[in-house]
Amino acid sequence: MFEGDTIETLAKYSKFFALNIFGNSERNKLLIESGNHPDLYYLRTQENTIKKDEIGQLVHRMNQKPIESEYKVYIIEQFEKLTPQAENSILKFLEEPPEKTIAILLTINKSDILPTIHSRSQHILIQGEDQDRLNALESLSDSEKNIVNVLSLNVQHINEMADRFSLLTKEVVNFANRWIHNHPLVLIDMKRMLDLCDDRRDQELVLELLSGYIRQVLHTTIGLNDFKPFDGPMPEGNDIHPSKLSRMLEEVQNANKYLSFNVNPMLVFEGMVIGAKG
């Protein structure tokens, strides 16, 4: 299972992986690039789901003997799109594949995949390449693209959010500034920020943005200029010091953990704010 934040990069690496399984020859390279390699089955869809029938076609193709190579390879792009029926259909095939058959499952949202699939996979994390990430972004400003790129945010999720990403980013920066300065109205800002979140993915994105912003403030505070996801001046003052910012980052990590345990998001973020006070 190739996990990452940019499907274009995962697709590129999966084809390179397949090429080296078949043999890194010019012929194999041309066949893969043209989508005509007889021993490679690449499943992708523009639909919202991958259905059981499509998995059935894949299984039928993979049960045939290889033609060009010693191995057969199938790649499923955005594996998280499989319906529950499709996942259950492919589970047995993953457990008992035909000889010399290799599956490469690509995902940018592994939390939507059955635990039984995860347990039968070898996981390889592949960070998106900068240009692939930037090319995939649709309507963001240059400053917003920089945030997504530097923090390696999930491009697919950002594109799905559309204008909400800009609104959420502004609220996160506003909240972070008030939190850093211990503003008495910070919990009100927190609620306004969370009201923009539709689901846990959005809440996890808030934590990624928060972590990135506070890290940038920390780098600025100690005189480093090597980490700049956000434009504009960073907060200053006698109440800002590295130990405080480090404690805030620890609380963001804890909040991420509690979210994964399905704790109520409002309680998670309230605990994060209160916990940072020590």
What are the domain boundaries of the chain?
2-129, 137-275
Tens digit of each residue's pLDDT (9 = 90 or more) over 146-161: 999 999 898 889 988 9
Task: Return the percentage of the chain with pLDDT > 70, whole number.
Answer: 100
End-to-end CA distance of the chain: 40
CATH label, 2-129, candidates 3.30.420.40, 3.40.50.300, 3.40.30.10, 2.60.40.2130: 3.40.50.300
Helix (H) or strand (E) holding 121: none
Q: Would the pLDDT of 270 be above 80?
A: yes
Q: Would the pLDDT of 260 be above 90?
A: no
pTM beyond cutoff 0.85: no
Tokens 């592994």 found at: 110
User: Which residues on neighbouring strands pair with residue 105, listed in sequence order?
Assistant: 76
Q: In CATH, what class is 137-275?
A: mainly alpha
Tens digit of each residue's pLDDT (9 = 90 or more) over 116-148: 999 999 999 998 898 888 888 878 999 999 999
Tens digit of each residue's pLDDT (9 = 90 or more) over 21-37: 999 999 999 999 999 99
CA distance 141 to 44: 29
Tens digit of each residue's pLDDT (9 = 90 or more) over 44-71: 998 989 999 999 999 999 999 999 999 9
The pLDDT score that the predictor gives to residue 111 is: 82
Structure tokens at 271: 């605990």
Q: Would the pLDDT of 110 be above 90?
A: no
Please list, in sequence order, all residues whose beta carbon lies within 8 angstroms of the beta carbon of residue 69, skipping any fewer than 6 positions away. 21, 22, 23, 28, 39
